[in-house]
Amino acid sequence: MKQYPAEPFRIKSVEMMKMLSKAEREEKIKEAGYNTFLLKSEDVYIDLLTDSGTSAMSDKQWAGMQLGDEAYAGSKNFYHLEKTVQDVYGFKYIIPTHQGRGAENLLSKIKIKQDDVIPGNMYFTTTRYHQEANGGIFKDVIIDAAHEPSAQHDFKGNIDLEKLEAVILEAKPENVPYVSLAVTVNMAGGQPVSMANIKAVYELAKRYKIDVYMDATRCVENAYFIKSREAAYQHHSIEAILKEMFTYADGCTMSGKKDCLVNIGGFLATNDEAVFNQAKELVVVFEGMPSYGGMAGRDMEAMAIGIKEAVQYPYIHHRISQVQYLADRLLAANVPIVQPAGGHAVFLDARAFCPHLSQDELPAQALAAAIYVESGVRAMERGIVSAGRDKDTNEHHYPKLELVRLTIPRRVYTYSHLDVVADGVIHLYNHAQDIKGLKFVYEPQMLRFFNARFAPLP
Ligand SMILES: *Cc1c(COP(=O)(O)O)cnc(C)c1O
């Protein structure tokens, strides 16, 4: 039998959760317009909406919060954070920001000029937004397998080197400011990139004198997959793997809300002094002084401590094993999920789960609402509702994938909680024909999934 590591922490502070009855949950989801984003957190039993900013901090991080040096300039917590990023990630310069998108804004403004082309391994919403808002054109160069929910591949986040070279040649190298390399790829389901691919991408980029900037948001999860799936690295420490990964980059943007184990914060890191100097000028306009960016001193302290905790093997081994555990329980009951499971979430294939619903009946939205009613678990739709409408024709985008994301926060839930999730989803799968489709009753113009309201179809 497969073994899953027990929690490598013990619990010293608890937060009680509310368990509503099924009748009460039916009432709450109706009030929320069948949109899980509009549920109140206190009405949710197990919250798998996102792993962003939802991590549990350690006793050491909470102790660090008391050491906040809230000086306007030159806070000692900044120097601690700077040294930690230099030691653990290996980059020379760092600029703190309020979260990841703040760093993406700075990098895009500094590097991108009108009509530049930025190749990347699938997009992330905020990353692509800032690239395009600064006149750039994003080109997806991820391998084809990343777009196939059932394609088995150890490193589904890899860049297709032929696609990358073709994009560079077509755009001309001087119009490619950098390659945007995400490790892991959130939108592909948290799929990792191999060290061999990272290295090959860097070498190819450098042949054309192009920089590589990583989206390092989920870099520790990526390092874990390299250790467990890439033979040459099985005896390396997570820290050694991370360090090597970053030798193949000129810098990175980071959302601290994920692999830095904090609730808020981020940074831009670079080895390029010119980029650093421009970032120091810009950060004052958009975030704050270069020695705090968008963060309080205490938050920088907690982040510095979190960066070191995240590279401890027992922590990351347990985290990825939790994701695997939930995936394995669902697979054992033949529930259709995206395979292999990635680093932060299990994605249900709503089309296969609810074959009686057409895409116009919003199957993933309906399934997410039904999961809440069944079990008090909150998940997120990633399908036609999230995809929005075409700017020119005003028709719905019809994405290939209709997914429901069950995202696991870091250090928050136990395997028993995941059993509740699995039992609820499996029960629902066996009664899936009872899930009714939904229709929009209120549809916002932009990023409609956040605030849209729905009603059940008859
Ligand atoms: C969350 C996330 C971001 C954006 O970071 P924020 O802190 O939410 O602004 C960027 N890239 C990836 C891969 C992410 O998961």
Helix (H, G, I), strand (E, B) or coil at 346: strand
Cα 254 to Cα 112: distance, rounded to the nearest angstrom: 18
Handedness of CA 252, 254, 258, 261 (dihedral sign): positive
Assess whether the C-beta atom of 128 lies below 6 angstroms from ligand 1: no
- Domain 59-310 CATH assignment equals 3.40.640.10: yes
Handedness of CA 305, 310, 311, 312 (dihedral sign): positive
Place of tokens 């890439």: 230
User: CATH 3.40.640.10: which residues of the chain?
Assistant: 59-310
User: What distance, in Å, lies between the first and last C-alpha atoms of the chain?
Assistant: 45
Cα 225 to Cα 342: distance, rounded to the nearest angstrom: 9
Helix (H, G, I), strand (E, B) or coil at 439: strand
Q: Whose CA is nearest to atom 12 of ligand 1?
A: 217
Handedness of CA 341, 409, 140, 274 (dihedral sign): negative
Pairing mode, strands 211-215 and 117-120: unpaired
Q: Which residues of 59-84 are buried (b: 16+ CB within 10 A; e: fewer)?
A: eebeebbeebbeeeeebebbebbbeb
Q: Which residues of 11-32 are buried (b: 16+ CB within 10 A; e: fewer)?
A: eeeeeeeeebeeeebeebbeeb
Q: How many CA atoms lie within 13 A of 54 on its CB side?
A: 15
Cα 357 to Cα 354: distance, rounded to the nearest angstrom: 6
Residue 377 parent element (H or E):
strand 377-378
For residue 265, which atom of ligand 1 is closest to its CA? 7
Would you list the DSSP string of 9-49? S--SS--------HHHHHHHHHHTTT-GGGS-GGG-SEE-S
Q: What is the reported pLDDT for 64? A: 98
Cα 112 to Cα 109: distance, rounded to the nearest angstrom: 6
Paired tokens of 446: 């932009």
Assess whether the C-beta atom of 365 lies below 6 angstroms from ligand 1: no
Q: What is the reported pLDDT for 125? A: 83
Could you give the dihedral angle defined by the CA atoms of residues 203, 171, 111 and 186, in that order, rounded to the nearest 10 degrees? -70
Assess whether the C-beta atom of 182 lies below 6 angstroms from ligand 1: yes
Assess whether the C-beta atom of 354 lies below 6 angstroms from ligand 1: no
Q: What is the reported pLDDT for 286? A: 95
Encode 69-80 in three state secondary structure. Answer: CCCCCCCHHHHH
If you measure from the C-alpha of residue 357 to the centroid of ligand 1, how many angstroms do you get, rounded to a whole number? 32
Q: Whose CA is nearest to atom 13 of ligand 1?
A: 186
Q: What is the reported pLDDT for 61? A: 98
Phi, psi of 219, deg, nearest 5: -65, -30
Could you give the dihedral angle defined by the CA atoms of residues 336, 338, 341 and 347, in that order, rounded to the nearest 10 degrees? -80
Q: Whose CA is nearest to atom 14 of ligand 1?
A: 217
Assess whether the C-beta atom of 213 lies below 6 angstroms from ligand 1: no
The superfamily in CATH containing domain 22-51+313-456 is Aspartate Aminotransferase, domain 1 (3.90.1150.10)
Cα 226 to Cα 236: distance, rounded to the nearest angstrom: 10
Assess whether the C-beta atom of 382 lies below 6 angstroms from ligand 1: no
Q: What is the reported pLDDT for 271? A: 98
Place of tokens 């998940």: 379
If you measure from the C-alpha of residue 98 to the centroid of ligand 1, how many angstroms do you get, rounded to a whole number? 11
Report which residue type is found at 132. E
Q: What is the reported pLDDT for 187? A: 82
Give the residues across from 57 on adjacent strands: none
Q: What is the reported pLDDT for 390? A: 82
Cα 157 to Cα 145: distance, rounded to the nearest angstrom: 9
Q: Looking at the annotation, which residues are catalytic? A: 72, 124-125, 215, 258, 382, 449
In tens digits, the chain (458 residues) has pLDDT values of: 689 999 999 999 999 999 999 999 999 999 999 999 999 999 999 999 999 999 999 999 999 999 999 999 999 999 999 999 999 999 999 999 999 999 999 999 999 999 999 999 998 888 988 999 999 999 999 999 998 888 899 999 999 999 999 999 999 999 999 999 999 998 888 999 999 999 999 999 999 999 999 999 999 999 999 999 999 999 999 999 999 999 999 999 999 999 999 999 999 999 999 999 999 999 999 999 999 999 999 999 999 999 999 999 999 999 999 999 999 999 999 999 999 999 999 999 999 999 999 999 999 999 999 999 999 999 999 999 998 888 789 899 898 889 999 999 999 999 999 999 999 999 999 999 999 999 999 999 888 999 999 999 99
Q: Whose CA is nearest to atom 6 of ligand 1?
A: 100
Assess whether the C-beta atom of 255 lies below 6 angstroms from ligand 1: yes
Measured between alpha carbons, how far is residue 307 from residues 7, 32, 101, 214, 283 in Å?
Answer: 19, 37, 19, 17, 22
If you measure from the C-alpha of residue 179 to the centroid of ligand 1, how many angstroms do you get, rounded to a whole number? 17
Helix (H, G, I), strand (E, B) or coil at 114: coil
Q: What is the reported pLDDT for 449? A: 92
Q: Report which DSSP code applies to 303.
A: H
Would you list the DSSP string of 402-434? -EEEEE--TTS--HHHHHHHHHHHHHHHHTGGG
Q: Which of 184, 167, 185 is nearest to 176 (CA)?
A: 167
If you measure from the C-alpha of residue 456 to the centroid of ligand 1, how many angstroms do you get, rounded to a whole number? 32
Q: What is the reported pLDDT for 2? A: 82
Pairing mode, strands 380-382 and 403-407: antiparallel
For residue 438, the tally of other CB atoms under 10 A from its CB is 28
Paired tokens of 16: 């009680």
User: CATH 3.90.1150.10: which residues of the chain?
Assistant: 22-51+313-456
